[in-house]
Amino acid sequence: MSENKVVPAKLPSNQFDHFYRGGDRIGALRHGPGGPMRPEEWIGSVTTRFGEAEQGLSKLPDGTFLKDAIASDPIAWLGKEHFSHFGLSIEVLVKLLDPDQRLPVHFHPNKAFAKQHLGLDHGKTEAWIILEAPAGAGVGLGFKEKQNKEDLLKLVRDQDSQALLASLRRSEVSVGDAILVPAGVAHAIDSGIFVLELQEPTDLSALLEWEGFAVDGNKDGHLGLGFETVTDALMLDPLSDADFDSLVMRNVFSGGALRTVLPIKADGYFRAHLAPQSGDFEVGFAIALVLNGTGEITFANAAAMPVTQGDAIVIPHAAGKYSISGANVIVCRPPLGELAKTAS
């Protein structure tokens, strides 16, 4: 693919079936199929679902997989500096999550565990930006008290969902909250919370409960490693108050200036900035989602693009610097190369 074809593009919807209910709000926002069992959209994804060959991959408007387009001209898409640090990996997976039922208590392995047991370069640290939330809705993040692995495995064997959910530290959430979820930390999300998620580019989830969900956890809940092994990746100690507070930002949508919307600890994994009505961005690969409003993105090296609510845009390095006006847009970007080296 020649560089003059490497231009910003609006991405088609990429919803697909999952094991929990939801997806209508994604369908309404992104002009996709909606629910009842399509609660996730993977936006600008070059990541496949665990064990799948193609499902999860995003396509460009011409039907080309974004992954293949990047591989054909990585410098134009990613830039020399990014390519020198990360190769063909875009280093981030952006999702919309729209659960119509509570997400089960689960966790994700870190980089070291994923490398040792699965031969992968990434774990799954993730972050949630809350787009909608019913009154009183919340998330569980980490255990309230130190857990004993054998006692926890018994709860998993018994599928004691009530005890597993009660073991988590609960925090109510509101629109505009942003929460970083480090790999290894057990967590759950209440029904009805609409989330923009950034994460490391893998599909690595280990379930602690699955009663009432369309999944066989005994077969598919442990990444093929068995629960005895996969729970070695689980953080059994509770987060300290200081650590918990460092993972949560409140009311990130307020204010009028371009700003980061994730806790600073996220920068070694991924970055997200909000351009409220206006914002100027440095050159670099990005995936942008228009939250609301109608406006325009102007590029140094590409034609201006009109945008409106629900548009998802992949922006290549070759487009140069760009400016956003007239719409509220979250711009999701790869991590800073030097910080990524020390991210565990």
Q: Compute the residue count for the chain.
A: 344
Range(s) of the domain holding residue 98? 14-63+91-249
**Which residue has better confidence, 122 or 336?**
122
CA distance 283 to 297: 13
If one counts the domains in the chain, the total is 1
- 86 within some domain: no
* Residue labelled with tokens 């692995």: 149
Q: Write down the pLDDT at residue 344.
A: 85
pLDDT in tens, 196-242: 999 999 999 999 999 999 999 999 999 999 999 999 999 999 999 99
pLDDT at 28 over 90: yes
Q: Give the pLDDT band (50/70/90) at residue 341.
A: confident
Q: Write down the pLDDT at residue 235.
A: 98
Beta strand ranges found along the chain (DSSP E): 9-10, 15-16, 40-43, 93-97, 106-107, 126-132, 138-143, 168-172, 178-181, 187-189, 194-199, 206-207, 248-249, 259-260, 271-281, 286-299, 305-308, 312-315, 322-333
CA distance 166 to 152: 12
- 166 within some domain: yes
pLDDT, averaged across the chain: 96
pLDDT in tens, 92-128: 999 999 999 999 999 999 999 999 999 999 999 999 9
- % the chain with pLDDT above 90: 94
- 123 within some domain: yes
- 260 within some domain: no
User: The dihedral of CA 289, 59, 338, 341: what is its sign?
Assistant: positive
pLDDT in tens, 123-145: 999 999 999 999 999 999 999 99
Q: Which of 105, 122, 118 is nearest to 234 (CA)?
A: 105
pLDDT at 4 over 80: no
- % the chain with pLDDT above 70: 99
Q: Write down the pLDDT at residue 227.
A: 98
Which residues are CB-contacts of 55 (< 8 A; sequence separation ≥ 6)? 16, 48, 49
Q: Write down the pLDDT at residue 5.
A: 85
pLDDT at 258 over 70: yes
Q: Write down the pLDDT at residue 263.
A: 96
Q: What value does the mean pLDDT take over residues 267-293?
A: 96
pLDDT at 177 over 90: yes
Q: Give the pLDDT band (50/70/90) at residue 256.
A: confident
CATH code of 191's domain: 2.60.120.10
pLDDT at 59 over 50: yes
- 280 within some domain: no
How many angstroms from the chain centroid is the CA of residue 277? 24
- 334 within some domain: no
Q: What value does the mean pLDDT take over residues 167-175?
A: 98
- 267 within some domain: no
Q: Write down the pLDDT at residue 2.
A: 38
Q: What value does the mean pLDDT take over residues 309-313?
A: 98
pLDDT at 1 over 60: no
